[in-house]
């Protein structure tokens, strides 16, 4: 069981996040030591780490609101408080003092399966015997005591990286929740981190009125970008503009930036809360059930897959190829293939494959044409990149001049992400070439719906997820936490310390039940 008696970390110690040391399983206390280490790693930084004397105040967040009420019941006492949005907070005080707040010591179980053997499907074991080790993470939600006075808060929201369905829903909910706490100064930083440095871009004032209907369309009200200023420039700008709550919506890169901003604020001893909301259509953030926008992406991908299926099915020897997003992880492709039931071949970055040769994709396509008359391939954009030459212009020049190339120097975007080659086009071309060579007629249609999927408005399930994550981000900031991000974990909402969720991108486990289900559904063999 986790212990609530964690010794308080000093500000400096809090920055040194430990990697788990190698575990000595011959030590009879290894499990306790592992759990203690886990507790340290997943402890969430708090403002009192650097301001031990910071005094909390009662929360201004209303669990129940009313503009006017008149109720007189014996034995029950109502408490009234100005909600800050023109209404009144009220809560019921009974003998049990129900108040609906989260206790700081509430925890959620990170892993819920007790694998009895390392050979169990998808087993994640700590020791060779797969000993059950409870791993607890912090429960998200409103606290009874808060560490910011709403009238002293200036909150900013920034959306970075690529678009993702649901960004507007999260922005909207953050603004609404901040207003419920009583915050009056809320701004949006335009076009991602770039908005902190570009003098032509100014803060966008936000209020419930401004954001009321923004969730009805996709994209980001604030705009997004890749690349941007240095961390120290961003914190300079935050100081100049008096921002003391920053909500950062983005993926792995954005969260690395958010954590760096949090650390810089601590270094400068600024009382600032930096809270992330993981945004990635690729679903490649560790430890959480899913990220917002992913469900919508899978749903929207169905339209493209269905079109490819109809095209392929209606043509003589038709082959449909659909490319879906997923830079380094194939979650969208895998789930879209599973959902559609129309995919014959699903290719993802995590599972190597050959295009050519006796076990290659093309040979299997030939078999499908012979047996079914048509086929549909779904490929994640990051799959099969080793087939495609993606080089910097310098590399091309070096190659042209016959010089040795000094290493794997791939082209990158402004954020440092590798620019991928188009695997969909490559498969289309290789398929045409292959069937021409073997003298079999095929009609290949390639559909790339990637940006159409990304620009969609969130579906209902993502809308709910965005709403809860947005609210919890604000609760986390008011509770005094910083350098944290919000997530859904085994259907419960939690706070994670940022470094734990971005240590590497989450990937599909080729030994997982889900990937095997996908293989069962497509009926594809190994392509190696």
CB 345 within 8 A of CB 365: yes
The CA distance from 477 to 484, in Å, is 9
DSSP letters along 361-417, please?
A: HHHHHHHHHHHTS-EEEEEETTTTGGGS----HHHHHHHHTTPPP-S----B-TTSP
Q: Annotated binding residue at 326?
A: yes
Tokens of 300: 């929207």
From the list ligand ADP, Mg ion, ligand FBP, none, which binds 228 (C-beta under 5 to 8 Å, kind-based)? ligand ADP
Decide: is 292 part of the binding site for ligand ADP (CB under 6 A).
Answer: no
Decide: is 325 part of the binding site for ligand FBP (CB under 6 A).
Answer: yes
For residue 7, what are the CA distances in angstroms to 4, 13, 55? 9, 11, 19
Range 368-387, binding ligand FBP (CB under 6 A): 381
Range 147-166, binding ligand ADP (CB under 6 A): 160-162
282 is catalytic: yes
Q: Annotated binding residue at 188?
A: no
Q: Annotated binding residue at 514?
A: no
Close Cβ partners of 322 (under 8 Å, ≥ 6 residues apart): 301, 304, 305, 308, 376, 377, 378, 379, 424, 446, 447, 448, 449
Where does this chain touch ligand ADP (CB under 6 A) — which range of 79-87, 144-152, 225-233, 491-499?
Answer: 225-233
Strand order in the sheet with 204-205: 107-109, 136-139, 492-497, 484-489, 273-278, 245-250, 154-159, 185-189, 204-205
Closest CA to 292 of 142, 109, 169: 169
Decide: is 413 part of the binding site for ligand FBP (CB under 6 A).
Answer: yes
Decide: is 280 part of the binding site for ligand ADP (CB under 6 A).
Answer: yes
Decide: is 257 part of the binding site for ligand FBP (CB under 6 A).
Answer: no
Q: Annotated binding residue at 161?
A: no
**Residue of 177, 244, 252, 521 that binds Mg ion (CB under 5 A):** 252
Catalytically annotated residue among 49, 169, 282, 344:
282
161 vs 318 by CB, closer to ligand FBP: 161
What x-and-dash track marks residues 378-417 binding ligand ADP by CB under 6 A?
-------------------------------------xxx
Map tokens 């993470």 to a residue. Answer: 137
**Residue of 323, 327, 445, 475 that binds ligand FBP (CB under 6 A):** 327
Q: Annotated binding residue at 227?
A: yes
Decide: is 454 part of the binding site for ligand FBP (CB under 6 A).
Answer: yes
Q: Annotated binding residue at 166?
A: no
Tokens of 315: 């043509």
The CA distance from 200 to 213, in Å, is 27
From the list ligand FBP, Mg ion, ligand ADP, none, which binds 282 (C-beta under 5 to 8 Å, kind-based)? ligand FBP
CB 289 within 8 A of CB 490: yes
| Shortest distance in whole angstroms from residue 414 CB to ligand FBP | 9
Decide: is 161 part of the binding site for ligand FBP (CB under 6 A).
Answer: yes
141 vs 253 by CB, closer to ligand FBP: 253
**Residue of 251, 276, 330, 497 that binds Mg ion (CB under 5 A):** 251
Helix axes 294-314, 460-478, angle to 10 degrees: 160
Tokens of 311: 């095209």
Decide: is 283 part of the binding site for ligand FBP (CB under 6 A).
Answer: no
Decide: is 283 part of the binding site for ligand ADP (CB under 6 A).
Answer: no
Give backbone dihedrals phi and psi of 82, rounded to 5 degrees, phi first. Answer: -65, 125
How buried is 75 (Cβ within 10 angstroms: 0-12 exposed, 13-18 middle, 19+ buried)? Answer: exposed
CA torsion 158-159-161-163 (nearest 10°) is -170
Which residues of this chain interact with ligand FBP, rule CB under 6 A? 161-162, 251, 253, 280-282, 325-327, 381, 413, 454
Residues with catalytic roles: 282
Residues that constitute the known binding site: 162, 226-227, 251-254, 280-282, 325-327, 381, 451-454
Binding site for ligand ADP (CB under 6 A): 160-162, 192-193, 226-228, 250-254, 256-257, 260, 280, 415-417
Binding site for Mg ion (CB under 5 A): 251-253
Residues in binding site for Mg(2+): 252
């Amino acid at each position: 069981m986790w212990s609530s008696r964690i010794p308080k970390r000093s500000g400096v110690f809090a920055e040194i996040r430990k990697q788990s040391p190698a575990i000595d399983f011959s030590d009879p206390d290894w499990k306790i030591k592992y759990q203690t280490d886990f507790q340290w790693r997943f402890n969430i930084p708090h403002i009192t780490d650097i301001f031990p004397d910071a005094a909390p105040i009662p929360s201004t967040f209303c669990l129940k609101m009313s503009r006017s009420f008149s109720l007189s019941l014996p034995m029950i006492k109502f408490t009234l408080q100005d909600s800050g949005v023109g209404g009144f907070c009220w809560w019921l005080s009974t003998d049990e003092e129900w108040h609906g707040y989260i206790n700081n010591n509430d925890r959620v179980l990170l892993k819920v399966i007790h694998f009895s053997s390392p050979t169990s499907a998808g087993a994640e074991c700590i020791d060779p015997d797969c000993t059950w080790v409870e791993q607890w993470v912090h429960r998200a939600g409103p606290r009874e005591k808060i560490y910011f006075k709403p009238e002293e808060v200036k909150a900013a929201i920034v959306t970075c990286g690529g678009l993702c369905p649901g960004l507007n829903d999260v922005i909207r909910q953050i603004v609404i929740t901040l207003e419920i706490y009583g915050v009056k100064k809320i701004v949006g930083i335009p076009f991602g981190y770039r908005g902190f440095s570009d003098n032509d871009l100014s803060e966008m004032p936000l209020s419930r009125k401004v954001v009321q209907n923004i969730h009805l369309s996709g994209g980001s009200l604030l705009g997004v970008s890749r690349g941007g200023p240095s961390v120290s420039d961003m914190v300079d700008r935050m100081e100049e503009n008096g921002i003391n709550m920053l909500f950062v919506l983005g993926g792995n890169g954005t969260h690395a930036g958010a954590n760096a901003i949090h650390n810089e604020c601590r270094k400068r001893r600024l009382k600032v809360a930096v809270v992330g909301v993981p945004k990635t259509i690729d679903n490649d953030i560790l430890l959480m059930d899913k990220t917002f926008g992913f469900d919508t992406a899978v749903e929207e991908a169905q339209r493209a897959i269905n079109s490819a299926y109809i095209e392929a099915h209606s043509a003589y020897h038709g082959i449909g190829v659909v490319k879906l997003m997923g830079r380094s992880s194939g979650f969208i492709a895998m789930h879209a293939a599973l959902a559609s039931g129309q995919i014959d071949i699903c290719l993802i970055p995590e599972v190597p494959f050959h295009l050519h040769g006796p076990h290659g994709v093309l040979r299997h396509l030939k078999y499908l044409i012979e047996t079914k008359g048509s086929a549909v391939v779904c490929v994640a954009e990051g799959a099969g990149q080793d087939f495609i030459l993606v080089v910097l212009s310098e590399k091309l020049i070096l190659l042209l001049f016959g010089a040795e190339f000094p290493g794997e120097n791939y082209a990158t975007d402004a954020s440092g992400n590798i620019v991928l080659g188009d695997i969909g086009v490559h498969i289309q071309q290789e398929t045409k070439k292959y069937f021409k060579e073997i003298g079999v007629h095929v009609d290949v249609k390639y559909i790339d719906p990637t940006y159409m999927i990304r620009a969609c408005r969130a579906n209902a399930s993502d809308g709910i997820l965005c709403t809860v994550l947005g609210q919890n981000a604000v609760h986390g900031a008011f509770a005094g936490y910083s350098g944290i991000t919000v997530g859904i974990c085994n259907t419960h909402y939690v706070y994670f310390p940022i470094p734990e969720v971005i240590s590497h991108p989450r990937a599909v486990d080729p030994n997982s039940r889900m990937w095997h289900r996908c293989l069962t559904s497509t009926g594809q063999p190994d392509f190696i």
